[in-house]
Structure 1
Amino acid sequence: MAEAPKESTSLISLLTLSLSFCVQCLEQKTFTVEEAVETIGFGRFHIALFLIMGSTGVAEAMEIMLIAVVSPLIRCEWQLQNWQVALVTTMVFFGYMIFSILLGLLADRYGRWKILLISFLWGAYFSLLTSFSPSYIWFVFLRAMVGCGVSGHAQGLIIKTEFLPTKYRGYMLPLSQVFWLAGSLLIIGLASVVNPTIGWRWLIRIASIPGVVLILVFKFIPESARFNVSTGNNKAAIETLQQIARINRSVMPEGILVESVNERRGRFKDLMHPKYLRTTLQIWIIWLGIAFAYYGVILASAELLERDLVCGSQASVTEEFGDHSQESQSPCHCHLFAPSDYQTMIISTIGEIALNPLNIVGINFLGRRLSLSITMGCTALFFLLLNVCTTSAGLIGFLFMLRALVSANFNTIYIYTAEVYPTTMRALGMGTSGSLCRIGAMVAPFIAQVLMSASFLGALCLFSGVCIVCAVSAFTLPIETKGRALQQIKHVGFS
């Protein structure tokens, strides 16, 4: 009988210890990737990330802008008609469209970094092959293959977005436009020197060099920690976050990393979920229209210079070129760019960063939706102003503003799309948007290079009308992502 109190005391002590242990378990600190990214903050790692991933824009711009500066040469070499020249650009974007969806699916399942590396290897390989094209058909096919590879470059933007703290995304991502500008200016500058001397084939070979160099430095950028967590690989995510903290000379949050990982990744039907359906459809409309306008401006600029479609220029053309101007009116006209034409292209291209400061202010203070709606509306207006009879300086001014506005549109929609979808479907959302975008890019050459020759005003009105539709769609988007944390899984509600 004397042992009973001791047994009761032992039982009570055991229960007390168990309860204390459970309380400690409940009090165990945890953190998410989002909280870790915010705690670590912005630092040296993000500067390196910005420079390396941003430089993918240099390679992409050189490959895309290449068609605009070699079109007059291949037209002359293979005696091409208008629709054949337009078909080259269309096939590049056809390859881009098909592979945007495929690479987006693969990136959400197997990683952003791997897909980015594969896309650069693919693009560099086929770009080099293009320079050896024996005929027009081979040129079209190989440039379409280059388009397939370039479609994966968007993963660089996704990696940047998933590593940047919230308050820096609205500032750093628009600054990436500087790299696209650098690539555009570089290819135009190279074309002005290389095309008249050693030819367009060497221009293509030189243009592939930045892509090859980038492949060598990708090893310094890790896989997205958000992607690793979404696949259940918390160990790799922790190692990546710890590495970033060391580079930034910062600290990790206390506790253990937790995230829900029961979501399937990269499913197309998730984009059609009722929570996302309206947003997805409107984003697709906007992407399609922005690409239609952007590449329309680029190709229309080249056509205005190559064909001298600007008001009042025909007399000067006759004086300068004599019989050559008659040749330029034939279906297979051969009119190469003069040094002044390259200068005009450079000036208008510089316009791509002219509105960057205002774009950054608009994105961060007005919000993504209103900012995009305003710039799209202004784009519509400046397309119509191209029809105004003006001087060469006036034309350059209009083209300058158009390039500035269409560039601002792309900045904003890139940021919005990367922010609005959760990690489990972010790359797919970007990939499908990029794919729809290329439909607009595929149609643009036939408007800017074929319809514009037949009806200048008709082509401009079509470009302007599409921009108005996009402005309305942007204004009515159901979600504003300004200041909003990146969502990790699809069942997290929108704020």
Structure 2
Amino acid sequence: MALKRSSSMKTQLVNGIQLQEFEQEEEINTSSSNNTPSEPAEAKAHTEPKYYTVEEAVETIGFGRFHVLLFVIMGSANIVEAMEIMLLAVVSPEIRCEWRLEDWQVALVSTMVFLGFMVFGVLCGYVADKYGRWKVVFGGFIWASYFSLLTSFSPSYGWFIFLRCMVGCGVAATSQGFILKTEFIPAKHRAFLLPLASIFWMLGSMLIIVLGMTVVPSMGWRWMIRFSIIPSIILIGLFLFIPESARFQVSAGNIKGAMSTLDWIARMNGVPLPEGELREPEVTERGNAFTLISPAYRRTSFLLWYTWFVASFIYYGSVLSSSELLEKNLLCVTDADAEHQIKHNHEEALCYCIPFNMADYQTLLISCLGEVALIPLNIALLNVFGRKASMAILLVLCAIFFMLVNICTTMFGFTVLLFLLRSVVSMNFNVVYIYTAEVYPTSVRSIGMGFCTSFSRVGGMIAPFIAQVLMSRSVIWAMSPFAAACVICAIGVVFMPIETRGRALLQHG
């Protein structure tokens, strides 16, 4: 009896355990069936690939060692460009003497350089948008160096102006380096770093003046030109360390190349890339000039073209005017020495050989310092007032200083005035460059810059005839067109529809 009761209790216990296991299995199955719809979504959320744009990559990488390298090498490109342009002011008295040139013939030299720049400006912009920024800039360095060297062997005035025109074509290509540099710099650093490029322009201007002081008196202007291409040759080697723009590579559909470029920059800066994969659509309409006059950009482009015209017109006007005033002693100086009291005017006599003396070179050197002395003010204006307001303020100041050149002052006073004029003119050019690189999308950024620089060279072509030809007739007549152009441009800038301060670089129009 006890054995039967024990067997019955064992059976009930086994059945109870089986029932409990069955219920637990049911709960698991029910829970599993209830969660079935959410689990794939959750898993999908974990496995779905992440993507980022080139703008996000540039901002994530930030500023680091690569950008220092970029800043130094691409800044050195400004040294080369400045030397080629400032060479005109330094060599003008020498070629005037050697080939017995009239004022208009001296002015034509500068005009031919800017003609080459104007013609190739648009072409280089189109090629840069279509085939890459790096190729255009690198080719421009080689082209400009080669023809600059040939210039030093010019047997006649005709050959000289032709070869300088070819140099202008090469300089037009190297100016695309500003686009290449801008496309690698994060938005918050652009207003700080890009104005600092003026330091390199100033160094180039000062270097060519120092060569004029030391080489021209003893060895002549031809050797000065030969020495001036040494920085270009060095730069050709250094430029091999700069990659193609990742923004261009993405727009051209070369995602693999852009990834490789961004990965190299990130490793050089010691930071990781954003999580995920780089993905942006290919831009098939690259280098389309009609985008510049589309409804979205029409007013901006027209006003910007005139702004570039004025920026170049007043910059080279200030450079060539200072050279002409010193060379012919046309400035009104109350404490002039005996040598500077002699006024050289072609209406009275043909004075072909009027070389710079050491004091003239020193005045030019001090005026070059003006291009960097007010960089902190330039940066403050960009960050506080934005690009448009900065241009308007600087243009008004340019107009005032151009008119002040007409007043009689001491030699020290003239040097200070020239210093301030070069400062505000240079700052205005900086802002115009930055605004142009920021306002257009990647698909047309280079051709947009190309059109702008071409219009600027029209200003550069006209400036010599006012600063070097009209100046001999009247200083106030020569200064007034520069001041008037500044005032009109300042009014036009106010009506530009787009402000780019703090804005990301657009990839598509």
TM-score under structure 1 normalisation? 0.92
Instruction: State the one-letter code of the partner of 2:484.
Output: G
Task: Select between 387-396 and 162-171 the one with higher mean Cα deviation.
Answer: 387-396
Task: Select between 257-266 and 285-294 the one with higher mean Cα deviation.
Answer: 257-266
Quote the offset at 1:194 in angstroms: 0.6
Aligned equivalent of 1:391 = 410
Q: Does the CA contact (< 8 Å) of 2:344 and 2:351 recur in 1?
A: no
Structure 1 pair 31–457 and aligned structure 2 pair: CA distance change class (3 A): same
Q: Does the CA contact (< 8 Å) of 1:159 and 1:224 recur in 2?
A: yes
**2:97 equivalent to 1:80:** no
Instruction: State the one-letter code of the partner of 1:147.
Output: G
Gaps of 5+ in 2: 1-32
Deviation per residue, 1:308-367 (Å, 9 max, x gap): 00115797446887xx96889534532100000000000111111121100101001110
Instruction: State the one-letter code of the partner of 1:462.
Output: P
Aligned equivalent of 2:353 = 334
Q: Does the CA contact (< 8 Å) of 1:105 and 1:427 recur in 2?
A: yes
Residue 163 of structure 1 aligns to a residue whose secondary structure is: coil
Structure 1 pair 313–142 and aligned structure 2 pair: CA distance change class (3 A): farther
Q: Does the CA contact (< 8 Å) of 1:260 and 1:489 recur in 2?
A: no
Deviation per residue, 1:36-58 (Å, 9 max, x gap): 01111110000000000111000
Alignment partner of 2:457 out of 438, 451, 457: 438
Residues in 1 aligned to 2:444 and 2:46: alpha-carbon distance in whole angstroms: 33
**2:459 equivalent to 1:404:** no
Deviation per residue, 1:182-234 (Å, 9 max, x gap): 00001001100111000000000011111111001111110000000000000
Aligned equivalent of 1:358 = 377
Residues in 1 aligned to 2:249 and 2:39: alpha-carbon distance in whole angstroms: 34
Runs of 4+ in 1 over 2 A off after TM superposition: 15-28, 312-321, 324-333
Q: Does the CA contact (< 8 Å) of 1:174 and 1:356 recur in 2?
A: yes
Residues in 2 aligned to 1:408 and 1:374: alpha-carbon distance in whole angstroms: 11
**2:165 equivalent to 1:129:** no
Deviation per residue, 1:276-329 (Å, 9 max, x gap): 0000001101000010000000000000100000115797446887xx968895
Residues in 2 aligned to 1:111 and 1:397: alpha-carbon distance in whole angstroms: 43
Residues in 1 aligned to 2:336 and 2:269: alpha-carbon distance in whole angstroms: 62
Quote the offset at 1:22 in angstroms: 9.7
Residue 399 of structure 2 aligns to a residue whose secondary structure is: helix
Residue 218 of structure 2 aligns to a residue whose secondary structure is: coil
Quote the offset at 1:273 in angstroms: 0.6
Structure 1 pair 329–350 and aligned structure 2 pair: CA distance change class (3 A): farther
Structure 1 pair 347–258 and aligned structure 2 pair: CA distance change class (3 A): same
**2:475 equivalent to 1:447:** no
CA RMSD of aligned residues (A): 2.1
Residue 197 of structure 1 aligns to a residue whose secondary structure is: helix
Aligned equivalent of 1:246 = 267
Residues in 2 aligned to 1:62 and 1:123: alpha-carbon distance in whole angstroms: 11
**2:119 equivalent to 1:98:** yes
**2:184 equivalent to 1:166:** no
Residues in 2 aligned to 1:55 and 1:191: alpha-carbon distance in whole angstroms: 20
1:271-286 equivalences under 5 Å are 271-286=292-307
Aligned equivalent of 1:493 = none
1:5-44 equivalences under 5 Å are 20=41, 23-24=44-45, 27-44=48-65
Structure 1 pair 262–159 and aligned structure 2 pair: CA distance change class (3 A): closer
Quote the offset at 1:263 in angstroms: 3.6
Quote the offset at 1:26 in angstroms: 9.0
Residues in 2 aligned to 1:55 and 1:328: alpha-carbon distance in whole angstroms: 42
**2:381 equivalent to 1:369:** no
Quote the offset at 1:260 in angstroms: 2.0
Residues in 2 aligned to 1:478 and 1:436: alpha-carbon distance in whole angstroms: 20
Higher alpha-carbon Rg:
2
Residues in 2 aligned to 1:326 and 1:458: alpha-carbon distance in whole angstroms: 15
Q: Does the CA contact (< 8 Å) of 2:392 and 2:494 recur in 1?
A: yes
Instruction: State the one-letter code of the partner of 1:434.
Output: T
Residues in 2 aligned to 1:315 and 1:166: alpha-carbon distance in whole angstroms: 49
Structure 1 pair 328–230 and aligned structure 2 pair: CA distance change class (3 A): same
Instruction: State the one-letter code of the partner of 2:228.
Output: A
Quote the offset at 1:475 in angstroms: 2.1
Residues in 2 aligned to 1:297 and 1:327: alpha-carbon distance in whole angstroms: 21
1:310-321 equivalences under 5 Å are 310-312=331-333, 316-317=337-338
Instruction: State the one-letter code of the partner of 2:66.
Output: F
Q: Does the CA contact (< 8 Å) of 2:151 and 2:164 recur in 1?
A: yes
Residue 58 of structure 2 aligns to a residue whose secondary structure is: helix
Alignment partner of 2:130 out of 109, 113, 134: 109
Alignment partner of 2:495 out of 466, 476, 494: 476
Aligned equivalent of 1:196 = 217
Residues in 1 aligned to 2:290 and 2:467: alpha-carbon distance in whole angstroms: 35
Residue 503 of structure 2 aligns to a residue whose secondary structure is: coil
Aligned equivalent of 1:6 = none
Residues in 1 aligned to 2:245 and 2:336: alpha-carbon distance in whole angstroms: 58
Count of aligned residue pairs for this structure pair? 476
Residues in 2 aligned to 1:407 and 1:421: alpha-carbon distance in whole angstroms: 22
Residues in 2 aligned to 1:431 and 1:25: alpha-carbon distance in whole angstroms: 46
Residues in 2 aligned to 1:170 and 1:180: alpha-carbon distance in whole angstroms: 17
Q: Does the CA contact (< 8 Å) of 2:327 and 2:354 recur in 1?
A: yes
Task: Select between 382-391 and 324-333 the one with higher mean Cα deviation.
Answer: 324-333
Aligned equivalent of 2:364 = 345
1:201-280 equivalences under 5 Å are 201-280=222-301
Quote the offset at 1:140 in angstroms: 0.3
Task: Select between 473-482 and 325-334 the one with higher mean Cα deviation.
Answer: 325-334
Deviation per residue, 1:129-169 (Å, 9 max, x gap): 00000000000000000000001112211111100111000
Quote the offset at 1:455 in angstroms: 2.2
Residue 390 of structure 1 aligns to a residue whose secondary structure is: coil
Residues in 1 aligned to 2:220 and 2:214: alpha-carbon distance in whole angstroms: 9
Residues in 1 aligned to 2:441 and 2:340: alpha-carbon distance in whole angstroms: 60
Q: Does the CA contact (< 8 Å) of 2:329 and 2:340 recur in 1?
A: no
Instruction: State the one-letter code of the partner of 1:145.
Output: M
Instruction: State the one-letter code of the partner of 1:392.
Output: M
**2:324 equivalent to 1:303:** yes
Residues in 1 aligned to 2:73 and 2:350: alpha-carbon distance in whole angstroms: 44
Residues in 2 aligned to 1:235 and 1:106: alpha-carbon distance in whole angstroms: 21
Quote the offset at 1:236 in angstroms: 0.3
Q: Does the CA contact (< 8 Å) of 1:101 and 1:432 recur in 2?
A: yes
Structure 1 pair 344–365 and aligned structure 2 pair: CA distance change class (3 A): same
Gaps of 5+ in 1: 1-11, 491-495
Instruction: State the one-letter code of the partner of 2:310.
Output: G
